[in-house]
């Protein structure tokens, strides 16, 4: 069951899945609109009989210094990254409880530590990490597992999306290629973690290091950020 905004991408992916001998259903869906997730979940029930695994994956990053950002920037960030996750949960949790299923929340390494210029994105990802932790306790007795995923630098278009949520396909990838993990490798790591009902999955080697040191030596991470002038990526330029 595929749900996203771009119908052409959904159709292409559904066709690829079906060529592998699997069934696929795609529904255009915007996680910022009330009712879209309920409609998608209803379509999944009709076609497949229920929902065993739900993945809350929609997200983008608003970046920039706090003093230059507006409240509207923060509202826009939270509407997708936090309330979009909540809408997904509300639409699918009854099925997951009935079927003792699995909920997957895609967070970020930025939900463990924040760098200068990343406050909206990091705030949203800290929020969903705490949501995953609290909800995991709430639904454990129903046999539902909640897996929080912190990808790190994974191959995707997120770093070519500006603060308004618009794709700037011409913008260069700001992260060196040797630090970026392929989407296929990331997917395999996530699937293994979800299959094992793990509470936390960190995908990339650099992500593992960042999370480890933030948990065990936060003073060292803070000193390194300030000493070496570490900053969030810049917003992709608009033509």
- For residue 194, give the 3-state DSSP assignment: helix
Cβ neighbours for 168, distance < 8 A, ≥ 6 positions apart: 160, 161, 162, 236, 237, 238, 239
Is 74 annotated as catalytic? no
Contact 237, 168 (CB under 8 A): yes
* Catalytic residue selected from 1, 56, 121, 202: 121
* C-alpha separations of 84 from 34, 103, 105, 233 in Å: 9, 14, 11, 23
Distance in angstroms (rounded) separating the CA atoms of residues 214 and 86 = 27
Contact 120, 73 (CB under 8 A): yes
* C-alpha separations of 187 from 181, 184, 191 in Å: 10, 5, 6
**Catalytic positions, written as ranges:** 121
């Amino acid at each position: 069951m595929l749900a996203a905004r771009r119908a052409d991408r959904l159709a292409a992916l559904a066709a690829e899945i079906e060529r592998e001998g699997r069934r696929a259903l795609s529904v255009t869906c915007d996680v910022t609109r009330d009712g879209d997730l309920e409609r998608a979940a209803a379509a999944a029930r009709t076609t497949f009989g229920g929902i065993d695994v739900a993945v809350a994956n929609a997200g983008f990053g608003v970046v920039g210094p706090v003093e230059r950002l507006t409240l509207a920037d923060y509202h826009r960030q939270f509407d997708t990254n936090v309330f979009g996750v909540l809408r997904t949960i509300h639409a699918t949790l009854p099925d997951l409880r009935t079927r003792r299923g699995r909920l997957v929340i895609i967070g970020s390494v930025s939900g463990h530590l924040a760098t200068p210029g990343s406050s909206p994105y990091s705030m949203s990802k800290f929020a969903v990490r705490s949501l995953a932790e609290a909800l995991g306790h709430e639904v454990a007795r129903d046999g539902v597992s909640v897996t929080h995923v912190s990808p790190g630098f994974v191959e995707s278009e997120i770093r070519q999306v500006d603060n308004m949520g618009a794709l700037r396909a011409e913008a260069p990838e700001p992260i060196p290629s040797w630090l970026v993990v392929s989407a296929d490798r990331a997917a395999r790591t996530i699937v293994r973690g979800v299959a094992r009902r793990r509470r936390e999955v960190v995908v990339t080697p650099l992500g593992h290091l960042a999370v480890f040191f933030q948990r065990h030596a936060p003073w060292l991470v803070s000193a390194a950020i300030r000493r070496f002038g570490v900053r969030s990526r810049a917003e992709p330029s608009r033509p």
